[in-house]
Amino acid sequence: MRRIRPRRSPAVPLLIAVLAGAVAVLWLWWANTPSLADTNAKILNAGRITGLLAGYLMALVVLQMARVPALERRVGSDRVARWHAMSGRYTISLVLAHVVLTMYGYALQAGKGFGDIVQQTVDSVGQLPDLGKATIGTGLLVLIALLSMGPVRRRIPYDFWYHVHLLTYAVVFLTFWHQLSTGNDFVVEPTAKTFWYALYGSVTALVLWYRILTPLRLNLRHRMRVEAVIEETPGVVSVLITGRRLHRIGAEPGQFFRWRFLAPGMRFSSHPYSLSAAPRPNMLRITVKAIGDHSSALRGLRPGTRVWAEGPYGALTAQRRSRGKVLLVAGGVGITPMRALFETLPGAAGDLTLLYRANTTQDLALWDELAQIAQERGARLMYAVNSPEGERPDISADTLRRKLPDIDRHDVFMCGPPGFAQQVYEALRGAGVPARRIHHESFEM
């Protein structure tokens, strides 16, 4: 602990690389555009630009779904998920702009007006190669975008949304070919076509490797099964999972897996749950609160049930630490990664503090384990629960400073519901903790 070397996030270099790729795409358009003589040419070229950028972003959208370890474990799964959502919004906007501008340009060439775009689209689909497949792909993309909107997303089952979201791969396949067969930049510039094949080919290879072959290898090697299901508190259970040489998976406290339990009614559901204890050579443990169909069904798992896992994912690990003293803040079932970190983070007596927020003392899952860890390590354990009248505890900057006068010299690891996390983040900032030392991941994916 005398020399703590936190792992640096590659987020900034990655963003620079993404912007460099976008500049290269714009240069491709510029190099193949001799002039913009009239309004029609300007509209068609605006359609070309939006189409090229949409094709480039589509590849990035799929890359962000590939679960590449350099992204998932170093940048952070929650940040990658936000990038994916943001890239998806930009992509759908560019695709729609590309369709409208291109069809409007074609309509002007044919002596028609803006009101004839629909008819022009129908005519173009029948005349241009691969445009029919691209139209189907665009329709699927719009469907995915609509189902991913917040108000809609919150009202549909997670599994339904998840499997519809996988249609993104079909969207990429259906829309890819018309870019090469009708895109002027690829028809006149063979080097550009080679670059496009390389871009999409590389992304496809990463998806196949990390989403299919890597999980297949992991599960064939470790052959995980349910050992037992233990009730921790009302509505919260721990699932003990055994397997062969589990220490070779490389999981770290604070990380999570996507779990699929091969039991009736659960085979086609894959959900992210954090490890609630440090990984053992022959045992992994997750602790889950029943808040949906899948999490509620975990109570009924029988010993011996086969388990299919993907991971480990997440960057909420000891590698983010930059200071000797650490505050761990957990809200509700967010205690699971915090409990694993509380057990394993290096530190002398007095270096570690855990603050656990729950509605009542009966909701403090894993409390006995936490108390034992605190006693053995000389760590500080605190909880904040509602009063008998239901009044919420005060977790403010002043309260945090009273409890930890040197809180501004702490690293803070935090996990909990979004509203709770936002409240604690603002309190921590008010207490003088720099944003770079507040580490948080949201697993609502």
CATH number at residue 412: 3.40.50.80
Determine the residue type at 153: R
Find residue 286's DSSP bridge partners.
239, 275
Report the CATH number at residue 257: 2.40.30.10
Of the candidates 169, 184, 217, which is a domain's last residue? 217
Give per-residue pLDDT as tens, 104-158.
Answer: 999 988 888 888 888 988 989 888 889 999 999 999 999 999 999 888 988 888 8
Of the candidates 217, 238, 272, which is a domain's last residue? 217
Find residue 246's DSSP bridge partners.
none
- Rounded Cα–Cα distance for residues 374 and 201 (Å): 51
- Rounded Cα–Cα distance for residues 90 and 85 (Å): 9
Looking at the structure, do residues 139 and 49 belong to the same domain, yes or no?
A: yes
Residues 207 and 200: beta-carbon distance below 8 Å: no
In the chain, the percentage of residues whose pLDDT exceeds 70 is: 97
- Rounded Cα–Cα distance for residues 330 and 441 (Å): 12
Task: For residue 324, give Cα distances in angstroms to 70, 185, 198, 431.
Answer: 26, 55, 45, 18
DSSP line for 114-180: GGGHHHHHHHHHHHSTTHHHHHHHHHHHHHHHHHTSHHHHTTS-HHHHHHHHTTHHHHHHHHHHHHH
Res. 289: pLDDT tops 80: yes
Res. 162: pLDDT tops 60: yes
User: What is residue 139's predicted lDDT score, i.e. its pLDDT?
Assistant: 95
Residues 440 and 415: beta-carbon distance below 8 Å: yes
Looking at the structure, do residues 78 and 212 belong to the same domain, yes or no?
A: yes
Of the candidates 313, 335, 351, which is a domain's last residue? 313
Find residue 238's DSSP bridge partners.
230, 287
Does 76 reside within a domain?
yes
Does 5 reside within a domain?
no
Does 238 reside within a domain?
yes
Minimum mean pLDDT among 112-116, 316-320, 361-365, 400-404: which range? Answer: 112-116
Average per-residue pLDDT for the chain = 90
Does 148 reside within a domain?
yes
Looking at the structure, do residues 191 and 240 belong to the same domain, yes or no?
A: no
Give per-residue pLDDT as tens, 50-67.
Answer: 999 999 999 999 999 999
In the chain, the percentage of residues whose pLDDT exceeds 90 is: 65
Looking at the structure, do residues 129 and 266 belong to the same domain, yes or no?
A: no
Q: Which domain holds residue 308?
A: 223-313
Number of other residues whose CB lies within 10 A of the CB of residue 379: 22
Looking at the structure, do residues 254 and 157 belong to the same domain, yes or no?
A: no
- Can you tell me the mean pLDDT for 79-95? 93
Looking at the structure, do residues 184 and 263 belong to the same domain, yes or no?
A: no
Looking at the structure, do residues 296 and 378 belong to the same domain, yes or no?
A: no
Q: Kindly indicate the confidence band of residue 443, based on its pLDDT and cuts at 50, 70 and 90.
A: low
User: What is residue 437's predicted lDDT score, i.e. its pLDDT?
Assistant: 92
Structure tokens belonging to residue 248: 């070779």
User: What is residue 46's predicted lDDT score, i.e. its pLDDT?
Assistant: 93
User: What is residue 145's predicted lDDT score, i.e. its pLDDT?
Assistant: 93
User: What is residue 305's predicted lDDT score, i.e. its pLDDT?
Assistant: 97
- Rounded Cα–Cα distance for residues 250 and 338 (Å): 18
- Can you tell me the mean pLDDT for 10-38? 85
- Can you tell me the mean pLDDT for 211-220? 96
Dihedral sign of CA atoms 102, 104, 108, 112 in order: positive
Residues 413 and 338: beta-carbon distance below 8 Å: yes
Closest CA to 440 of 358, 357, 317: 317
- Rounded Cα–Cα distance for residues 100 and 121 (Å): 9
Does 2 reside within a domain?
no
Does 210 reside within a domain?
yes
SS3 content of the chain, % helix, strand, coil (to 5): 55, 15, 30
Structure tokens belonging to residue 60: 């990035």
Task: For residue 314, give Cα distances in angstroms to 13, 78, 194, 380.
Answer: 19, 8, 34, 26
Q: Kindly indicate the confidence band of residue 10, based on its pLDDT and cuts at 50, 70 and 90.
A: low
User: What is residue 6's predicted lDDT score, i.e. its pLDDT?
Assistant: 52
Looking at the structure, do residues 191 and 229 belong to the same domain, yes or no?
A: no
Number of structural domains the chain divides into:
3
Looking at the structure, do residues 51 and 99 belong to the same domain, yes or no?
A: yes
Full 3-state SS string of 275-305: ECCCCECCEEEEEEECCCHHHHHHHHCCCCC
Does 445 reside within a domain?
no
Find residue 256's DSSP bridge partners.
274, 313
Q: How far is CA 263 from the centre of its chain?
A: 26
Looking at the structure, do residues 340 and 229 belong to the same domain, yes or no?
A: no
Dihedral sign of CA atoms 21, 166, 155, 267 in order: negative
Q: How far is CA 323 from the centre of its chain?
A: 27
Looking at the structure, do residues 186 and 248 belong to the same domain, yes or no?
A: no
Looking at the structure, do residues 85 and 198 belong to the same domain, yes or no?
A: yes
Q: Kindly indicate the confidence band of residue 445, based on its pLDDT and cuts at 50, 70 and 90.
A: very low
Does 6 reside within a domain?
no
